[in-house]
Amino acid sequence: MYLGLGSNKGAARNAPDAIQGRTSRHRLRRRYDCGMSRTRIKICGLTREEDVAAAVAAGADAIGLVFYPPSRRALAPARAAELRRLVPPFVDVTALFVNATDAQIREVLDRVQPDLLQFHGDETPEQCERYGRRYLRAFRVGAPGMENSQALLKSCELYGSAAGWLFDSHSEGYGGSGRVFDWSLVSSESARPVVLSGGLHAGNVAAAIESVRPFAVDVSSGVEQSPGIKCADKIAQFVAQVKRADGN
């Protein structure tokens, strides 16, 4: 899914707004305005052909493929390339990395040809920008140094070149926790498109959209029957609730 307009040199002055005080709000004065009419949807952690088909049939804007070996949703590049070939035009493929080596990332770029990169580890801005590709930067809300909105602001400011900022809940280790974080720490009034993740499912995604008004929502465990095994009915229900929240 298209999550941004490329590099924005002025974007680093802005970040999620749950920040109190005139100074912080002044720093948010140039919010990203996507003029969106609906919330985009990414289904992440796909491992099977039938799950790709279910996500596409339900109307997902993007799918996510995981390249983090400790994850139960991790794929080898060759397997990911097989799934990628099943994705039709206008549905984007996102490649998720966690502190991957340069060689690992370049192999995925060559074999899978993702539309968007997602960095979910400790990658620096320079590492994220190295490949000349549009990328999402994930922020683990509640992690050390990101416990409150001011700390999130400082972290986000470093990644003004990101196509979007993805907010997930903190857990031990890396990857999604399947837990909800305090949505009040995040606002759509940020310099880059906000992608909301962390513990979303059909039962709470409408409330999340109402609270945050994100550009997109990202779900993995909330549409699964077991780790890495998606449920077509849950995917359809999730998409239906997003549309309901959008008034469609």
Q: Which residues are catalytic?
A: 44, 168
Contact 162, 192 (CB under 8 A): yes
What are the C-alpha distances in Å from 146 to residues 124, 139, 153, 181? 16, 8, 9, 12
Report how far apart the first and last C-alpha atoms of the chain are (Å, whole number).
Answer: 19
